[in-house]
Every structure is written in C-alpha cells, then in structure tokens.
C-alpha cells in the first residue's frame, strides 16, 4: 500500500500519473474550492468534487455513493482502473484523505492510489510549477467494486457500544469531542459517541502539512491505551477527518481504514 508520495516524487512523475485536486472546505469557511482550483493548481491535475461525487440522495454530507455512481464519476474524469492516482488538497481538513479512502472502498488497487504528503501548501512553499490551465481528458470505462467491511453504519456503532468489538476513535478536536465547543453545523448537538476515544487529527500532522513519522504516529495511537486485540474504526464530524486517522493507521499497520460514514453528522442529530 503506497499511502503517501512526496512533492519531489510527484514533480518527477508528473506526467506518469493521474493527479486529482480533492480540496473541500468546511461550509463556514465560505471558500470555493473549484474557483481556487481554476486560478491555480498543480500542473496536469483535475478537480475532484467531493460533494458531487458522493451520495446525492442522502441528507448527510458526502456519504459514499453507489458503485455505479462512483464508476460513472471516475469514467467522466477519464480515470482508468490501471491509473496511479495521486490526490492532493489545499484544505484545513486534508480532504484528500477522504477521497483516498473512497478509492480504496471502491477497490482501486491500493498500490495505485496515494495522497500527496504536504499537499498544495508544501508544493507552493517549494516553488514547484503550478498552472491555471484546465486539463482536457477522454472518457474512460472505470469499473468499481465495494469492500463493505470498510464502512460502518449507525446500527453497527450502537451494537458496538454494547459488545465492544472494536475501538472507535474520533478525529475531532478535544473541545468538540468533550462538547465544550459547539458543532459547526447548527442541527448537530455537542458531545461524542459513548465509549469512543479522541485523537484530534491535527496532532498527526507536522507544521509543513506532512504526516508525522511512522514511529511518532504509532506513539500517538499507543497513548490512547487501546485494546491490542481489537480492530480500530474511525469517526469525526462528517467522515472527512476520520480518513486522516485511517490513513495514519494504514501507515502503521498496512490495514484498510474502517470509517463510520455518517459520523457525528448522523449520530449527533438533535
């Protein structure tokens, strides 16, 4: 599993891979990812709209779509099953990790989907080439499958409160987890899922937006005093930053991430 690639690696392989800008911003930021992309992006990249590629029939944000809808979305972007896909973002919530998770869920070869370590911020800081030209591409015939073991429902979360089969780790800030800070979505109450543990995604990330070293990540998970005999699953506000924990755990363990898709947006509804 090739979870991460460096900015230097991508610069050398710019025309050998498919590059997706998967920037997504929290609604309260009032930032428009597509407008930002049209003004400046990594050369040869394609904009990937997380919301439009998600389940359009759900009232919850960016839930997993059907495999047919996912296949159609990727086909329309000219992405093939054989492509090595590099995903980056310019987001405060490292939204590329959620799109990485989606690719794995729909069974893209795990060795052929990677997140750009450090994202667009690091790319810009290193004065690497950018563009405002929009790339054209031919439609492909992408085939999608599903690994349903990588996603959890609210019922499975509630069952786990009783039988404690897996450890549930929440990526939100400590203030939101403890209910001290209100949720950014007004229809959501404060608090956390009974029995879950808190590991804010921000502690996994260095100042330059890269992931911390494997031994550092391992130490952060160890500090949670998890049961080593239980698997891990991840939750957050709406399934985006949970994927950051999922990627970090994959770096440590090589395992696929397991995400509660509805996360607190579903569980915390008033």
In this predicted structure, the answer to whether residue 1 has a pLDDT above a threshold of 80 is no
Tell me the pLDDT of the chain averaged across its residues. 96
Interhelix angle 242-253/96-105, rounded to 10 degrees, is 60
The SS3 call for residue 183 is coil
Alpha-carbon distance 214 to 230, whole Å? Answer: 20
Give residue 28's pLDDT. 83
The residue to which tokens 């229809």 are assigned = 187
Reported as a single tens digit per residue, the pLDDT across 114-163 is 999 999 999 999 999 999 999 888 999 999 999 999 999 999 999 999 99
Residue from 20, 115, 204, 236 carrying the catalytic annotation: 236
Please tell me whether the overall predicted TM-score, pTM, comes out greater than 0.85 for this model: yes
Reported as a single tens digit per residue, the pLDDT across 163-214 is 999 999 999 999 999 999 888 888 889 999 999 999 999 999 999 999 999 9
Is residue 97 among the annotated active site residues? Answer: no
Mean pLDDT of 93-97: 98
Query: Which residue ranges form the domains of the chain, and what is each CATH number?
Result: 4-131 (3.40.250.10), 148-267 (3.40.250.10)
How many Cβ atoms from other residues are within 10 Å of residue 135's Cβ?
A: 15
> Which of 34, 29, 28 is closest to 51 using CA atoms?
34
């Amino acid at each position: 599993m090739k979870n991460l690639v460096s900015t230097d690696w991508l610069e050398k392989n710019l025309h050998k891979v498919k590059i997706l800008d998967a920037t997504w911003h929290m609604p309260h930021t009032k930032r428009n990812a597509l407008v930002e992309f049209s003004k400046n992006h990594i050369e040869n990249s394609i904009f990937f709209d997380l919301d439009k590629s998600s389940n359009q029939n759900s009232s919850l944000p960016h839930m997993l779509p059907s495999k047919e809808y996912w296949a159609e979305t990727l086909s329309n972007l000219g992405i093939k099953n054989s492509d090595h896909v590099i995903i980056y973002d310019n987001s405060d919530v490292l939204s590329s990790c959620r799109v990485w998770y989606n690719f794995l869920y729909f069974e893209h070869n795990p060795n052929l989907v990677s997140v750009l370590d450090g994202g667009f911020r690091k790319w810009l800081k290193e004065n690497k080439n950018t563009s405002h030209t929009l790339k054209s591409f031919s439609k492909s015939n992408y085939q999608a499958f599903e690994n349903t073991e990588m996603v959890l429902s609210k019922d499975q979360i509630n069952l786990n409160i009783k039988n404690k089969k897996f450890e549930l780790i929440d990526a939100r800030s400590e203030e939101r987890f403890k209910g001290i800070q209100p949720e950014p979505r007004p229809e959501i109450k404060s608090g956390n899922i009974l029995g879950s543990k808190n590991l804010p995604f921000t502690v996994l990330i260095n100042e330059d937006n890269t992931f911390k070293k494997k031994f550092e990540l391992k130490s952060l998970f160890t500090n949670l005093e998890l049961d080593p005999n239980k698997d891990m699953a991840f939750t957050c506000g709406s399934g985006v930053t949970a994927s950051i924990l999922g990627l970090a755990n994959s770096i440590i363990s090589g395992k696929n991430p397991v995400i509660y898709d509805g996360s607190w947006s579903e569980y915390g509804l008033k």
